[in-house]
Amino acid sequence: MTNERLSPDDGDLYDDEDNLSVPDDVAEAVRTLIRWTGDDPTREGLVDTPKRVARAWREYCQGYAEDPAHHLSRVFEEVGGYDEIVLLKDIPFQSHCEHHMAPITGKAHIAYLPENRVVGISKLARVLHAFARRLQVQERLTAEVADCIWEHLQPRGVAVVIDATHGCMTARGVRTPGVTMTTSRMMGVFRDDPRSRAEVLKLMGY
């Protein structure tokens, strides 16, 4: 389980990221953007900004270096007859929208109804982060998390609900702070059986 320690949820990678060398063309791209927005990239406060920005973006997007399904590869088949919903609620996450590269900040609720196989509960959050740490749209993020669990755990049902605010909406454009967007993906019994769907949504607090 050595890769547990190298998981992006820990701080280890971030130290390495601080030393990550930044190619000249990447730094120059950030200087170009600074110049274009109206500031002087050579002034003292901005001299090291291109490197910091470049490294920050590698960190925001470290999901590209991960296979989300890897987190579901270790399953427990001895579930003691447990056949009720498993729910991980209010998982905070950050992503970035692929249209503006602006922050998407929110909470996810991830549930599944196991059929013989369960995973350590933190693994559901790791799957979420592996997809969130990429350039995303909220609808696809929701679907990718649900599909990954559906495919790799083969449960009787999966429900993923995400509430998030979008920096591209709160800080620019229509500038509407506080507005959240909700997306959901229901699969298996949560899609086909209204009572199961109502039960999982109630557990999630809807």
Residues labelled catalytic: 97-100, 138, 166, 168
Backbone torsions φ then ψ of 66, nearest 5 degrees: -120, 145
Give least dist CB 138 to Zn ion, A.
10
Nearer to Zn ion, 40 or 139 (CB): 139
Query: Binding residues for Zn ion, per CB under 5 A?
Result: 97, 99-100, 168
- Say whether 61 counts as a known binding-site residue: no
- The number of angstroms, rounded, from the C-alpha of 86 to the middle of its chain's C-alpha atoms is 19
Give least dist CB 81 to Zn ion, A.
46
- Rounded CA-CA distance 102/137 in Å is 11
Nearer to Zn ion, 120 or 173 (CB): 173
Give least dist CB 115 to Zn ion, A.
37
Give least dist CB 100 to Zn ion, A.
4
Longest CA–CA separation in the chain, Å: 65
- Say whether 100 counts as a known binding-site residue: yes
- Rounded CA-CA distance 54/45 in Å is 16
Backbone torsions φ then ψ of 78, nearest 5 degrees: -90, 90
Nearer to Zn ion, 57 or 150 (CB): 57
Nearer to Zn ion, 7 or 165 (CB): 165
- Rounded CA-CA distance 46/100 in Å is 22
- Say whether 97 counts as a known binding-site residue: yes
- Compute the CA torsion angle 165, 171, 176, 181 (nearest 10 deg): -20
Contact residues for 122 (Cβ-Cβ < 8 A; gap 6+): none
Residues annotated in a binding site: 97, 100, 168
Residue ranges for the known binding site for Zn(2+) are 97, 100, 168
